[in-house]
Amino acid sequence: MGHQYDFYIAATPEQLWEILTGPEGVRQIFFGCELRSTFQPGEDLAYVGPGNDGPETVHVYGTWLEWEPHHKFSYIEHPGPSYAPNHAELESRVTFTFEPAGSCTKMRLVNDQFTPGHPAMERSGESWWMILSNIKTLAETGKTLDFGW
């Protein structure tokens, strides 16, 4: 069980890659976070930024599975320690792919392989819609959405 989303975005795979992996794009899309990683399969990653534990809150951490620039990246993720006491036991897989489609790009996100009973299974379905809409808006307009927070 999991979630799959397909978005068609008026941007190149390279532009979307930069939004999702570059420092400025990550900060804008992932609520002020920084993606800390060597970007090598088998290596660790962490989204760190303002949150429950102050400015260095680990929101999500995990391990890269695949890293193919401008085409695909995939990782196993865990919620940060402040989100669940059993965070290390809770995991899911996140996979983004980018495929040219005419003058735009088909961006697919699959979030699957959830640990049975993972509390974020339902919540992630809602938050991904917001993040993906924000990616599309940023890529096409240069601005992010104001969610009223």
Decide if 62 contacts 45 (C-beta within 8 A).
yes
CA-wise closest residue to 79 among 71, 70, 88: 88
CB-based contact 109:95 (threshold 8 Å): yes
Which helix H or strand E contains 117, and what residues bound it?
A: none
pTM comes to 0.94
Distance CA 136, CA 21 (A): 15
What does the pLDDT look like over 53-78, one tens digit per residue? 999 999 999 999 999 999 999 999 99
Report pLDDT digits (tens) over 7-23: 999 999 999 999 999 99
